[in-house]
Amino acid sequence: MLLIYTDGLVEQSGQGADARVVGRPRLLAVHGARPLPELPAELADRLACPDPDEDVALLAIRIPAEGA
């Protein structure tokens, strides 16, 4: 799984992005098997603050394992 996102997904006023980025691998482990069309919305709902200061963009790409 390749997940590319803008800083608007992880930054909140008064809080750096580093603290919010730490939980990404666990969140992907829990929700990464969702159908790809649902995954970006689920992650954005869980990660973005309710009223982000910046635009939020998220791109998820699933690369199938060889032989899958």
Residue type for position 46: R
Number of domains in the chain: 1
pLDDT given for residue 63 in this prediction: 82
CB count in 10 Å sphere of residue 50: 6
C-alpha–C-alpha distance, residues 22 and 51, integer Å = 21
**Which of 58, 60, 13 shows the shortest CA–CA distance to 33?**
60
CA dihedral over 45, 49, 54, 60, signed as positive or negative: negative
Residue 66 resides in a domain:
no
Residue 67 resides in a domain:
no
Domain coverage including residue 25: 2-61
pLDDT given for residue 1 in this prediction: 79
pTM: 0.63
pLDDT given for residue 22 in this prediction: 61
Residue 38 resides in a domain:
yes
pLDDT, tens digit (0-9, with 9 covering 90-100), for 12-67? 666 656 655 666 677 777 877 888 888 888 888 877 777 767 788 888 888 888 87
How big is the CA angle at 33 (ends 58 and 12), to the nearest 5 degrees? 35
Band of residue 3 on the pLDDT scale cut at 50, 70, 90? confident
